[in-house]
Amino acid sequence: MAEKQTPNFKVVSDNRRARFDYEIGESFEAGLALTGTEVKSLRTGKATIAESYAHVDRHGEAWLVNATIPEYLSGNRFNHEPKRLRKLLLKQRELAKLAQGVEREGMTIVPLKLYFNERGRAKLQIALGRGKKLHDKREVEKKRDWGREKSRLLRDRG
């Protein structure tokens, strides 16, 4: 019997903070328009998307803002700028859903994960998210702490 192949995604950057700060809605997989030195720098695994967000401009194009891909160390004078705008490659239907979510529902386009897929292409998982209020964050933290305490008690007792 043949073994099941597990998808070998190489995760470059994971935005764990976004799941705490936002209520995550529908998510999409977007391609990135990158230069050669950006791809080489991503393969070293030093990119950060923690403070970044995406927006859809009036021409119907999606852009990734404030994502940091450091300069490639072996690059020459044609190296890329670390915090430049990067175009997101999405289908028209997906772009329309994102634009509608931002304009009508007051949501934010949040990047969740930056990775290479099985074909070696850089992909960004983005989602529509609504910002949580402070009391919601406190409630999530209390639930998490109680879950840890409960598992600790069960482990010590049994």
- Segment 59-114, tens digit of pLDDT: 989 999 999 889 888 877 888 888 899 999 999 999 999 998 888 888 889 999 99
The owner of tokens 């702490």 is 145
Q: What's the CA gap between 158 and 155, in Å, rounded?
A: 5
pLDDT at 28: 93
φ, ψ for residue 120 (rounded to 5)?
Answer: 85, 15
pLDDT at residue 43 is higher than 80: yes
pTM for the whole structure: 0.78
pLDDT at residue 116 is higher than 70: yes
Please report, for residues 23, 50, 100, 113, the alpha-carbon distance to residue 20 in angstroms, rounded to integers and kept in the order given.
8, 12, 23, 14
Domain spanning 10-132, CATH architecture: Beta Barrel (2.40)
